Structure formats: C-alpha cells, structure tokens
Amino acid sequence: MNFLKKYLPSLLLALCVSAISPMASAVGKIENASTEEVKQALDASVKATEDALAALKSGASEDTVNDQINNARQLIKWVEINRLDVIRTRSAENLKKARQAVSNGQKDQAEDFLAAALKGFKEMQSAF
C-alpha cells in the first residue's frame, strides 16, 4: 500500500508526459517538403529578396520593404536540408537584420544585409 502511494502518482505522470510528447513534437508541421517544394521555396526566396532589395533602392515605403523581407523569411523556412542549414540560418539572420535596419532608417546597412542574404540564398541554390 505504501508502495502505491509513493510511486503510482509519479508513474502515472510519466506515462501521461510520454503519451503527450510525440504529439507536441510535430505541432505545425504536416510533412517534410518534397524536393520540388524546396526548389520552389528557394527560387521564391531569391525573388522575394531581390524584390525587397530593388524596392529599398527605389525608395519604396518601409512597410512595403518589410513585407517583402518577411515574405522571404517565411518562404525560406520550407528549406529543411541539413547540409544547407548553416547557410539558411545565416541568411535568415541577415534578413532579420535588414528588417531591423529598415525600421531604424539605416538604408545603406539594410542594403548590405539584403545583399548578404541574397548571396547566401544563391549559394544554397547552387549547392542544392
């Protein structure tokens, strides 16, 4: 009886946690992207980054440039290839820094970050 009082609650808790954790690990992810979807995401990310850079150089509004940068950041999330992960992460960070620079009014710095992100995306395309 004493055994049940001490160990049964912790055993039940462990069973409940182990039953929930497989469901929690796949939240938001339906399936792995196919090769064609990855290729399309890479192409779309390059295009969105080029559009953001062109909009920034042409003097478009801050909201327009930020929307295009955010679009590129969302598209690149589809690329889940381990050998490209370092480049993807670095390029996504450059997009984030570009968005912050645009928000702070630092146009030259934002152009540099966008160019670095574009270079990384093109490097990913050639490696893929």
Architecture category of domain 35-127 in CATH: Up-down Bundle (1.20)
Q: Which pLDDT band, with edges at 50, 70 and 90, does 28 fall under?
A: very low
Report the mean per-residue pLDDT for the chain.
77
d(CA 92, CA 86): 10
Q: Can you tell me the mean pLDDT for 69-78? A: 81
State pLDDT tens for residues 88-127: 888 888 888 888 888 888 888 888 888 888 888 888 888 7
Angle, in degrees to the nearest 10, between helices 35-58 and 85-103:
30
